[in-house]
Structure 1
Amino acid sequence: MTTGESFNPAVVVVAAGRGERAGSPTEGPKQYRLIGGLPVITHTLRTFAAWGGAKAGIVVVIHPDDEALFADAIAHLHAPGAIRFVHGATTRQGSVLRGLSALEKERPSHVMIHDAVRPFFDAALLDRVSAALRSGEDAVLPAVAVADTLKKAGADRTVGATVSREGLYAAQTPQAFRYPVILAAHLKAEGEGRSDFTDDAGIAEWAGLSVKLVDGLAENVKLTYRRDIAMADEKLARNLIADIRTGNGYDVHQLVPGDGVTLCGVKIPHDMALSGHSDADVAFHALTDALLATCGAGDIGDHFPPSDPQWRGAASHIFLAHAAKIVREKGGVILNADVSLIAEAPKVGPHRLAMRQNIAECLGIDLDRCSVKATTNETIGFVGRREGIAAIATASVHYGNI
């Protein structure tokens, strides 16, 4: 990176191929075949989205005939609107150029270019590639050393020589570049009628760029043939262990003279009010902590310190939505949210549906996944003396690529 250049990378995912080697055309393009119950491309995009490093956006290059397939594939993702598509060309090289050109308004500092049919990469690989870009490299190629003995044969398939594997590597994706230089290299290749490059690092080499190798990932294989897809499906089926986590949250606020309390975003008329730096919505505060607990993201005070004047009187749905965003950025799917309110008054029952609707809207989940319950403390303790209201919340979240 040049001095003063910010790191603002984008991702281009190439998914416009027809996959002729992956079986009958009636089975559909290989990037939309199911592995582990989801399209291949869904696994690929989910990893990029969970990584969260594509600050300048994710562009997927698709075939014009695949818009419905693509819409179905990204429907399995959270915040699918953050991923956009452009139509590809007749060659991979042409499709990449269209993806790069679609990013010109965003002006990313760097770009990662990845094959949609390589779903088995991880955040650690993306971090290695990013680190090399940040160190100032123009082009970065993840690769693994060739382990097999290599033979060179003639047209008659007779072995003519054994090729030394010393210094030989198998190229993978995502291949990453400073955005302006790889766009210029692609435009130069197009201008000179060159369309025979098999990867983007090859274009970079031809354009005179230095390409830096970083450690690839053995599992980061390209699904080319039908048997590759079948093996990938079997692999995911064997590893289908659900990562479901449960977080708990507790909060309490003091009651003071006032004209009403806010619980789960619903203002309820009352002769008391809850005291707090924000709107003191004890229910949303507890649920915020429960969500943050599922991914080890601290508590509400870490993200919204009460010493910060900007949160004075703030509506607590801001805090809850922020926690939900963190969960999704870490690959989580919110399954359930449950709140128990402990108060002698006011009555919660008449407002329960509105409370559940507020939770569902804020978290982006179905109403039947949201529960609100209330109980008294049988006149015992500070709640029984009507000195405060307490809330206990539980959230269940599914993490992972399944």
Structure 2
Amino acid sequence: MSNFFALIPAAGSGSRMHNELPKQYLPLNNRPMIYHAISALFQNHRITRIFVVLAPNDNEWIKYDWSEFSEKLTTLNCGGATRAVSVLNGLTAAKQKNLIGASDWILVHDAARPCLTSIQLEKLINQLADDEVGGLLAVPVADTLKRGNAEYRIAHTESRENLWQAQTPQMFRYDLLTTALRNTANIHITDDASAVEALGLRPKLVLSDTYNFKVTYPQDLALAELIIQKRNNP
């Protein structure tokens, strides 16, 4: 029987937040933002271990108390220059520790998606546990999309038919994901599903909702704060 592991690449700086502190450590509801991503994964009974991939020179992690997650949490200081490199390095390091099997499921989740719910996570696992490829949480694009030109004017309107906005977690088996990431080592990709697609496979889209958004800009942090506070005080 395959096991379920989660991996959070957290070696980036989050430059678009305009803050010296790496984005994953920005305060959110009196906790570093990555805390909320870890907590959502930790509470799922099928996820047996959570790997957090940090930059080799990360000095922030040890400033916080992570003891409540200690039975499942493993940190790996092998992050790379890109998200894809960090994920691949983390998977390789975990395999070298004999912690992951070739057919085990890996759920890669963004540290900057603090509003993931237990319902979304359970739905993803249930719909993909028997899938031949794997897949990801996503939402259909609702807004009208405009293609701009170099002068910041509209070149044309893009059709939004069958367009989806990718989220995380993205769930694939260890061997498939590592093969895909190695295959795209010299190609710029922004998520794991893109690497799997490059192998000619078609990951499954699992319907999520817009609350599972990625904190990218300062205003996103305020919205995430409101969502988490409302959940904690219904």
Q: TM-score, normalised by structure 2?
A: 0.91
Which residue is 2:123 aligned to? Answer: 128
- SS of the residue aligned with 1:148? coil
Consecutive unaligned residues in structure 1, runs of 5 or more:
1-5, 243-402
In the alignment, structure 1 residue 82 sits paired with structure 2 residue 72: yes
What CA distance in whole angstroms lies between the structure 2 residues aligned with 1:215 and 1:161? 28
Matches within 5 A, 1:180-259: 180-190=175-185, 193-194=186-187, 196-241=188-233
In the alignment, structure 1 residue 50 sits paired with structure 2 residue 40: no
- The verdict on how the C-alpha distance between 1:238 and 1:125 changes in structure 2, with shifts beyond 3 A counting, is closer
Deviations 1:141-183 (A, max 9, x none): 2110001011112111111211111100000000000111111
What's the offset of the Cα at 1:237? 4.0
What CA distance in whole angstroms lies between the structure 2 residues aligned with 1:131 and 1:240? 26
- SS of the residue aligned with 1:141? strand
What's the offset of the Cα at 1:76? 4.5
What CA distance in whole angstroms lies between the structure 1 residues aligned with 2:87 and 2:67? 23
Deviations 1:205-232 (A, max 9, x none): 0012221111122100101111211332
What CA distance in whole angstroms lies between the structure 1 residues aligned with 2:149 and 2:92? 41
Moved over 3 A (4+): 234-240
Matched AA of 1:124: I
Matches within 5 A, 1:2-401: 6-25=1-20, 28-55=21-48, 57-66=49-58, 68-73=59-64, 75-86=65-76, 87-104=78-95, 105-108=98-101, 109-190=104-185, 193-194=186-187, 196-241=188-233
Rg larger in 1 or in 2?
1
- SS of the residue aligned with 1:143? strand
What's the offset of the Cα at 1:238? 4.9
Q: TM-score, normalised by structure 1?
A: 0.54
What's the offset of the Cα at 1:130? 1.1
Q: Does the 8 Å contact 2:4/2:107 carry over to 1?
A: yes
Consecutive unaligned residues in structure 2, runs of 5 or more:
none
What CA distance in whole angstroms lies between the structure 2 residues aligned with 1:214 and 1:185? 20
Q: Does the 8 Å contact 1:10/1:58 carry over to 2?
A: yes
- SS of the residue aligned with 1:93? helix
Task: Please provide the CA RMSD for this pair.
Answer: 1.8
Matched AA of 1:106: L
Matched positions, count: 229
What CA distance in whole angstroms lies between the structure 2 residues aligned with 1:178 and 1:84? 19
